[in-house]
Amino acid sequence: MATVDAAFPQTSHFIGLNQPVGREVTLTHLAVEGTLPPEVCGSFYRAIPDPHYPPKFADDNVLSGDGMVSRLAFNADGTADFLIRYVRTARWLAEAEKGRARFGRYRNIFTDDEDVQGVDRTVANTTPVWHAGRMLMAKEDGRPYQVDPITLDTIGSYDFDGALKSETMTAHVRIDGHTGELFFYGYEADGPASTKVAYCIVDASGKLVKEQWFDAPYCAMMHDFAITKNYALFPIYPTTCSLDRLKAGGDHWVHEPETDSWLGVMPRYGDVSEIRWFKGPKGVSAYHFMNAFEDEAGVIHFDQCLSNTNAFPFIREASGIHMAPWDVKGALTRWSVDPKGDATSVSESVVGPPGDFPLIPAAMQGRPNPYGWMLTMNPEMQGPPLFGGPVGAMFNTIVRLDFVHGAAEAGHVVDALALPQGWSINEPVHVPSAQEGHLGYIVAIVDEQTGDNQFAHAAWVLDAGALHAGPLAKVAIPTRLRPQVHGWWVPQSQLDKVAR
């Protein structure tokens, strides 16, 4: 139980919480402790990278791991089930056939075995995206894989019934809660290091109705994007790719501290020729965005978990950026632009604490969000955070921000739950309340280090308006878990509608 898996490189990417789980799990009738609110009726899905085989190259990173999808199902009888399944991608099947890794370095086709050239190498490991009754496991380097939302069995690569031209769809989509439309994009849309970006709209029934391509200012890691009621926003940060570097067997990404960031803004139903590029600061980076919205004056506000360099240590190392972890600074940062004004750069303000995994109720997507949640570090914690994930440090605190009532000097933080030393919390999902004025519920997986290379995991259900009160309900999950990338909540009413 406490043994390390010596078949994997003994680097930060494969030890401790990052040690691969390596197996599919079926746990049924788990006890739900406490009082589960009736609204928390449905399933919580999570995506995890978990390499099936030790990597071809010892310098592999967490992001390369084969996609695993988990489902925590709250059952009608008051118990819960927990399933983990590999996504059986073309890559997973090709490797399973030989019983070893055949694909090489992170997002570098030139390091793959000769006999798998041309095989889809995406690992579908980043977000379980639920839309129009379909569950898609997405990763930004390829097309998503569709999985059965009940059994988690892999259905296959998904291209919107042959309509999608882009070779990629990112893991960060935006669904307008008012129209039910899915907005997404794919970068490196026609191959590695390309500046081509595909911007797509899928109607509420799941039909891809529009796909347009444009050129980004340079080939950048475009991890997330945003919509407002009337606009689509494409932020560009200077973590860049070069084909020559890939051909030489090098790293996909290098961060460039002296290169400008950009915010592309276009009418969301408009033509890509209408994109206006607003200049941002040099050298910054962000993975995840809380939201974007227009105010009464038509000014767009875009809130992002921004940092002064790329947050991933292995990308900084590949870039020759030597910074102590405490010199990596960040904050929830607002870029404001007037799409009809004359200014050609963003205006920046700090609106929240450092951290990541921002969350708003799905209904507020692209509209003003008076409040939201995110993960951060407890500044009062004595001792180091739990080691894990691509950054190497897990978050230990969840906060609620109130942009109306919270003090700006306090980063709008009005409520917090700080976990004890040795604990961490993964990306939460939001479950709406049936009660008017109640902020709903939060579901998240928490990890606890219980010994040398020993961990315990549980799902916690929190009152989204009273985080400090601690869990209303808990489900202990008696199996080892790797840190989650992203999660999704699907209400039981929607699962019941799925034709099976």
Beta carbon of residue 122, minimum distance to ligand V55 (angstroms, whole number): 10
Alpha carbons 451 and 462: distance in angstroms, whole number: 26
Largest CA distance in the chain: 62
Residue 12 or 126: which CB sits closer to ligand V55?
A: 126
The answer to whether 13 is annotated as binding is no
Residue 89 or 125: which CB sits closer to ligand V55?
A: 125
| Contact between residue 33 and residue 79 where contact means Cβ atoms under 8 Å apart | no
Q: Which of 36, 63, 68, 401: binder of ligand V55 (CB under 6 A)?
A: 63
Alpha carbons 484 and 427: distance in angstroms, whole number: 7
The answer to whether 172 is annotated as binding is yes
Residue 313 or 471: which CB sits closer to ligand V55?
A: 313
Beta carbon of residue 13, minimum distance to ligand V55 (angstroms, whole number): 12
Alpha carbons 257 and 310: distance in angstroms, whole number: 9
Q: Per DSSP, what are the bridge partners of residue 128?
A: 137
Residue 472 or 485: which CB sits closer to ligand V55?
A: 485
Q: Which of 18, 19, 126, 170: binder of ligand V55 (CB under 6 A)?
A: 126
Asked if 385 is part of the footprint of ligand V55 (rule: CB under 6 A), the reply reads no
Looking at beta carbons, which residue is closest to ligand V55?
63
Q: Which of residues 223-252 bind ligand V55 (CB under 6 A)?
A: 223
Q: Which of residues 137-156 bind ligand V55 (CB under 6 A)?
A: 139-140
Residue 166 or 433: which CB sits closer to ligand V55?
A: 166
The answer to whether 178 is annotated as binding is no
| Contact between residue 133 and residue 206 where contact means Cβ atoms under 8 Å apart | yes
285, two tokens? 């980076």
Q: Percentages helix, strand, coil for the chain, rounded to the nearest 5? A: 10, 40, 50
The answer to whether 223 is annotated as binding is yes
Binding to ligand V55 by CB under 6 A, coded x per residue (else -) over 270-299, reads: -----------------x------------
Beta carbon of residue 434, minimum distance to ligand V55 (angstroms, whole number): 33
DSSP calls for 475-487: EE--S--PPP--E
Alpha carbons 185 and 201: distance in angstroms, whole number: 9
Give Rg (Cα) of the chain: 21
Asked if 314 is part of the footprint of ligand V55 (rule: CB under 6 A), the reply reads no
Beta carbon of residue 49, minimum distance to ligand V55 (angstroms, whole number): 5
214, two tokens? 């444009």
Q: Which of 70, 108, 125, 336: binder of ligand V55 (CB under 6 A)?
A: 125
Beta carbon of residue 242, minimum distance to ligand V55 (angstroms, whole number): 17
Question: 263: left (phi > 0), else alpha (psi -120 to 50), else beta?
Answer: beta
Beta carbon of residue 223, minimum distance to ligand V55 (angstroms, whole number): 5
Burial environment of residue 484 by CB neighbours within 10 A (0 to 12, 13 to 18, 19 or more) = buried
Residue 88 or 223: which CB sits closer to ligand V55?
A: 223
Alpha carbons 374 and 484: distance in angstroms, whole number: 15
Beta carbon of residue 310, minimum distance to ligand V55 (angstroms, whole number): 10
Alpha carbons 395 and 375: distance in angstroms, whole number: 6
Q: Which of residues 41-60 bind ligand V55 (CB under 6 A)?
A: 49
Helix locations, 54-198, DSSP H: 90-98
Asked if 485 is part of the footprint of ligand V55 (rule: CB under 6 A), the reply reads yes
Alpha carbons 354 and 221: distance in angstroms, whole number: 21
Beta carbon of residue 36, minimum distance to ligand V55 (angstroms, whole number): 30
Residue 40 or 485: which CB sits closer to ligand V55?
A: 485
> What DSSP character marks residue 1?
-
DSSP calls for 447-476: EEEEETTEEEEEEEEEETT-GGG--SEEEE
Burial environment of residue 248 by CB neighbours within 10 A (0 to 12, 13 to 18, 19 or more) = exposed
> For binding to ligand V55 (CB under 6 A), which residues are involved?
49, 63, 125-126, 139-140, 223, 287, 485
- The binding site for Fe cation comprises 172, 223, 288, 486
- The binding site comprises 172, 223, 288, 486
